[in-house]
């Protein structure tokens, strides 16, 4: 009976429901300024200890990981998100056994299949066929087991006659196809994936996603990505790493929002905006707009049956952050001049965002996202392309009204939120002045959309027999 594996030995399992257990994990590297210092470190501290002298250290310490502790349960998918250099890849390599920790322990229960750095485990001089057998043996399959699965591996990779060519001739996409095809057929209990799905075409990515969603029903996945949408879509829990430590463990939505807040904050010296400081700037929609119920107009006569309940702008202040150069004071959905309390999917609506400028800004950009309950963006847009040739510059005290007019898609039953942001700069280089995560809530209470993230109203559906 398998137990937890700790540094190559089996230990009794503390829980049959835990796939990975990490306690106090740390990884230290020795940084030498000169090649000669490495030799000095090897010889002199031993001599100094023998002479009763306090040993001198000839290197600088760099801790890639510090005091990492968490668990991954069976049938759980945990996403790890963080910037380059935060320690994500080092953590995965220790879990997979390719690196030895300086402190702490890693215990795993079951066979691990890992897709780490692109092409890791492949010999570039070997053919794809030879690398399949090499990689499968490393992952614990016998030659007979690999023979039995070889045709399925080749079919999954779908690289044709290149299977008999040296892998040094492969493109990055072909390499990851073959590597993923192997780990998909080794009957692993735990999958460890480090950004591998970022390489490859859309068809292969969808094939991988179908495999992962099937694997999630029986196995555990540790998934590293910079893509918050993938983390929120795939994972049941998430961890945010920064400077070798875990800053936050929680739901994918909460962790992703905190990560984005820190990411933009460190880039643009953003500080949190106090919610109370915005209360005097918000516009009470009851003072300016007549509220109507759009249901009476459409529900009885429509066969779309997609009724969206719209809640008011978060008067107490939605969670947000920003540099403070502008403030989002109000956000609402309208038909004409009327606030919508309900929306029928497929109808033409206007999203209005009111912004107050706090200091002179150049090239204002205002945008929004509509997100599902997991925080995954469904769709969104911003004003950049509309004004790329005629940027809007503003002065302190001015107010800007941004209008986005579109047809509301048909949304599956559930809760949705609208996030809004105001920035200055360009699409690629900008400063966020105010970002509100959940400024407006939408609830879809009835829907004809039965598959996919959104549905589109059809102008016509017809069948023709020739």
Pick the more confident residue, 414 or 161.
161
The pLDDT of residue 401 is 93
* Stretch 337-351: mean pLDDT: 79
466 confidence band (pLDDT: 50, 70, 90): confident
Range of the domain at 407: 273-446
Q: Do 241 and 382 fall within a single domain?
A: no
Confidence bin at 272 (pLDDT 50/70/90) = very low
Residue 466 belongs to some domain of the structure: no
Q: Is pLDDT larger for residue 142 or for residue 373?
A: 142
In the predicted structure, residue 263 carries a pLDDT above the cut 80: no
Cα–Cα distance, 97 to 106 (Å, whole number): 9
Residue 383 has a pLDDT of: 92
**In the listed set 206, 228, 261, which residue is the last one of a domain according to the structure?**
261
**Within-domain flag for 267:** no
pLDDT at 15 over 70: no
| Predicted pLDDT of residue 282 | 34
Residue 219 counted as domain residue = yes
Asked if 428 and 291 sit in the same domain, the reply is: yes
Say whether both 28 and 82 belong to one domain. yes
CA-closest candidate to residue 235, choices 253, 211, 208, 261: 253
How many residues make up the chain in this entry? 466
Burial (0-12, 13-18, 19+ Cβ within 10 Å), 422: buried
- Confirm whether 464 is domain-assigned: no
In the block, tokens 């100094």 appear at 48
* 338 and 301 housed in the same domain: yes
Return the CATH number at 32: 3.40.50.300
Do 215 and 361 lie in one domain? The reply is: no
Token readout for 326 is 């502008």
Helix, strand, or coil (residue 180)? helix
pLDDT for position 296? 38
Answer for the pair 242, 64: CB distance below 8 angstroms, yes or no.
no
> How many domains does one find in the chain?
2
From 261, 286, 314, give the residue that closes a domain: 261
Residues 201-213, mean pLDDT to the nearest whole number: 74
User: With 70 as the cut, is the pLDDT of residue 217 above it?
Assistant: yes
Does 187 share its domain with 313? no
CA distance 415 to 182: 39
Position 457 in a domain: no
Residues 251, 328, single domain; the answer is no
Give pLDDT, residue 399.
94
Residue 253 and residue 110 share a domain: yes
| Predicted local distance difference test score (pLDDT) of residue 118 | 57
Question: pTM of the prediction?
Answer: 0.64
Residue 453 or residue 133, greater confidence: 133
Please indicate, yes or no, if residue 463 is contained in any of the structural domains. no
Q: 165, 137, 133: which is closest to 150 by C-alpha? A: 133
Query: Which whole number is the average pLDDT over 349-365?
Result: 93
Q: Which percentage of the chain shows pLDDT scores above 90?
A: 20
Instruction: Say which range, 76-90, 98-112, 281-295, 356-370, has the weakest mean pLDDT.
Output: 281-295
State the SS3 of 314-370. Answer: CCCCCCEEECCCEEEEEEEEEECCEEECEEECCCEEEEEEEEEECCCECCEEEEEEE
Residue 465 lies in a domain: no
pLDDT band of residue 281 (cuts 50, 70, 90) is: very low
Mean pLDDT estimate for the chain? 79
50 and 86 in a single domain? The answer is: yes
298 with 228, same domain: the answer is no
Q: Do 211 and 127 fall within a single domain?
A: yes
Of residues 277 and 315, more confidence is placed in 315
* Domain termination site, one of 199, 232, 261: 261
Q: What is the pLDDT of residue 396?
A: 94
Structure tokens, 87: 């320690």
Q: Tell me the torsion sign for CA atoms 177, 178, 184, 188.
A: negative
> Which domain CATH number covers 388?
2.70.50.60
Residue 9 has pLDDT above 60, yes or no: no
Domain for residue 433, yes or no? yes
Examine the domain organization and report whether 213 and 99 are in the same domain.
yes
In whole angstroms, how large is the CA radius of gyration of the chain? 27
């Amino acid at each position: 009976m398998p137990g937890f594996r700790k540094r190559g030995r089996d230990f009794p399992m503390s829980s049959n429901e835990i796939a990975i257990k990490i306690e106090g994990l740390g990884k230290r590297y020795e940084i030498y300024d000169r090649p000669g210092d490495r030799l000095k470190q090897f010889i002199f501290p031993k001599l100094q200890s023998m002479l009763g002298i306090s040993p001198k250290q000839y290197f600088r310490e760099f801790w890639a990981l510090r005091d990492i502790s968490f668990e991954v349960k069976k049938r759980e998918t945990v996403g790890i998100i963080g910037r380059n250099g935060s320690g994500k890849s080092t953590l995965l390599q220790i879990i997979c056994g390719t690196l030895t920790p300086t402190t702490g322990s890693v215990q795993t229960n079951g066979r691990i299949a890992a897709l780490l750095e692109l092409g890791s485990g492949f010999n570039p001089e070997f053919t794809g066929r030879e690398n399949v057998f090499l990689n499968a043996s490393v992952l614990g399959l016998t030659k007979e087991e690999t023979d039995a699965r070889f045709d399925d591996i080749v079919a999954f990779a779908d690289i044709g006659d290149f299977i008999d060519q040296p892998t040094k001739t492969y493109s990055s996409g072909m390499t990851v196809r073959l590597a993923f095809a192997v780990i998909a057929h080794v009957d692993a209990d735990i999958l460890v994936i480090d950004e591998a799905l970022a390489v490859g075409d859309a068809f292969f990515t969808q094939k991988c996603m179908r495999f992962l969603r099937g694997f999630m029903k029986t196995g555990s996945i540790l998934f590293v990505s910079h893509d918050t949408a993938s983390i929120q879509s795939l994972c049941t829990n998430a961890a945010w790493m920064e400077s070798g430590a875990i800053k936050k463990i929680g739901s994918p939505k909460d962790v992703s929002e905190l990560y984005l807040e820190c990411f933009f904050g460190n880039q643009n010296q953003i500080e949190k905006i106090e919610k109370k400081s915005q209360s005097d700037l918000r516009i009470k929609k009851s003072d300016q707009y007549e509220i109507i119920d759009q249901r009476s107009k459409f529900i009885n006569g429509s066969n779309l049956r997609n009724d969206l309940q719209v809640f008011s702008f978060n008067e107490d202040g939605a969670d947000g952050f920003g540099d403070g150069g502008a403030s989002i004071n109000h956000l609402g959905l309208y038909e004409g001049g009327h606030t919508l309390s309900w929306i029928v999917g497929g109808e033409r609506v206007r999203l209005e965002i009111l912004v107050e400028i706090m200091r002179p800004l150049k090239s204002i950009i205002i945008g929004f996202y509509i997100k599902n309950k997991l925080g995954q963006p469904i769709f969104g847009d911003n004003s950049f392309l509309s004004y790329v040739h005629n940027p809007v510059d503003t002065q302190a005290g001015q107010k800007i009204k941004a209008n986005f007019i579109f047809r509301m898609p048909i949304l599956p039953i559930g809760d949705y939120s609208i996030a809004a942001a105001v920035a200055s700069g360009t699409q690629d280089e900008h400063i966020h002045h105010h970002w509100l995560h959940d400024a407006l809530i939408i609830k879809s209470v009835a829907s004809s959309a039965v598959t996919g993230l959104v549905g589109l109203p059809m102008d016509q559906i017809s069948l023709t027999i020739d």
